[in-house]
Structure 1
Amino acid sequence: MKHLIMIERGFNRVGDTLGALASLLFLLLLLNVVYDVVMRYVFNDVSIAFQEMEWHLFSAVFLLGVPYAIKAGGHVRVDVFFERLSHRHQAIIDILGAVFFLLPFCSLVTWYGIDFAKESYALGETSGDPGGLVYRWIIKAMIPVSFGLMVVSGLGLIIHALNTLFHPQASSLDQDL
């Protein structure tokens, strides 16, 4: 019993860390956008690199925020029906959804995304715009990293659901920690 709860806490720490990192990157994105707007409209100066950094940061926020959303229960499902079910039935749906949809899809994207990023790195891919960002492989590498972390969050979701099924008192108390 204690082992599953300890494992769940470990997965939760990973998810919480990703949520904090996504929040920090969002603040950097906000600062980047403010800087870009001020430079454009006050000083009539445009930086292609800062414009590209906006979509790089937005991508990182989204890609790192999704594993946190899975951990926090903010992922997509039909909540109108789901919330009306017992905790036991919710746990069963979470397990089935993770095993049959989340884990296979995220594993495939991770697997094929690695080659996508490696190819970008091998080609030395950079921005097509003059003054744009170099090392495009970094943002492309975020795809397999993020989907791999979604697999980790999915495993955490399964363990949480198992704790809910087999140790409902311990699992409900642990949610508040």
Structure 2
Amino acid sequence: MHALLRLSSIIDRAIEKIGGILNWIVILTIAVGFYNVVARYIGRFIGLKLSSNGLIELQWYLFSIIFCLGFAYILKHGANVRVDFLYANWSEKQRSLVDFIGTILFLIPFCAIGIWATFNPILLSWGLLPDGTWGTWEVSSDADGLPRAPIKTMILVAFLLLLLQSISQAIKYFAILMGYTQVAQVVEAETEKNLPIE
């Protein structure tokens, strides 16, 4: 069980680091959006085009990255929406049992199906042709638009990260069900502090 909890801690730390990176991407998204708005109005006033479709697309690309990479972070912190009028009053073991069953039966298979369903379309976006050779990337149909392949790849990355965090959560739920409540809490605490587990 300790080896599984160590694996859970490694996954949790990686997701925490991604969450930290997302904070900076949020700031970058706001900066790009602010520039796009200001440039549009100043450009109209002085008669110059100061923004482009590429910058506008970059703004929603950054927002999409926040959205996709945030799934695993939200799951780790339990910030997802719950209908908890019953759940909130249950014991820790009861909640862990429900969460464990839901994760094993629904969330992990959902992630696996998502990975399977998005893999080939993403390869096609990168330029994989039906004969197995590689062509050009899928590019935005807008003038000065950005390539679509990198942002579509974020869908696959989102499912992979969510799958990893689902496995981590399942380990912690299982630990609580097996009576390792204190160990599971230590994993959470150590992950928050980014300290090694002894």
Matched, 1:120 2:125: yes
Corresponding residue to 1:146 among 158, 163, 171: 158
SS at structure 2 position matched to 1:43: helix
- Post-superposition shift, 1:3? 2.2
Distance in 2 (alpha carbons) for counterparts of 1:95 and 1:71 = 14
Report the number of matched residues: 176
Q: Matches of 1:116 and 1:41 in 2, distance apart? A: 38
Tell me if the contact between 1:48 and 1:131 (Cα under 8 Å) persists in the aligned partners: yes
Q: Based on CA coordinates, which of the two structures has the bigger radius of gyration?
A: 2
Structure 1 position 10 matched with structure 2 position 15: no
Aligned residue for 2:126, secondary structure, equals helix
Q: Which blocks of at least 5 consecutive residues in structure 2 are unaligned? A: 45-49, 128-135, 191-198
From 138, 142, 155, the equivalent of 2:167 is: 155
Query: Cα deviations across residues 70-103 of structure 1 (Å, max 9, x unaligned)?
Result: 1111123323322211110111111111111111
User: For residues 20-169 of structure 1, what are the structure 2 equivalents within 5 Å?
Assistant: 20-44=20-44, 45-122=50-127, 124-133=137-146, 135-166=147-178, 167-169=180-182
Structure 1 residue runs of 5 or longer lacking an equivalent are: none
1 CA distance for matches of 2:67 and 2:78? Answer: 16
Q: Distance in 1 between matches of 2:186 and 2:9?
A: 12
Separation (CA, whole Å) in 1 of partners of 2:85 and 2:32: 38
| Contact 1:49–1:132 under 8 Å retained in 2 | yes
Distance in 2, Cα, partners of 1:80 & 1:173: 28
**Match of 2:82, SS?**
coil
TM-score after normalising by structure 2: 0.83
RMSD: 1.5
- What CA distance in whole angstroms lies between the structure 2 residues aligned with 1:46 and 1:28? 16
SS in 2 for 1:125: coil
1: distance between equivalents of 2:20 and 2:62?
Answer: 14
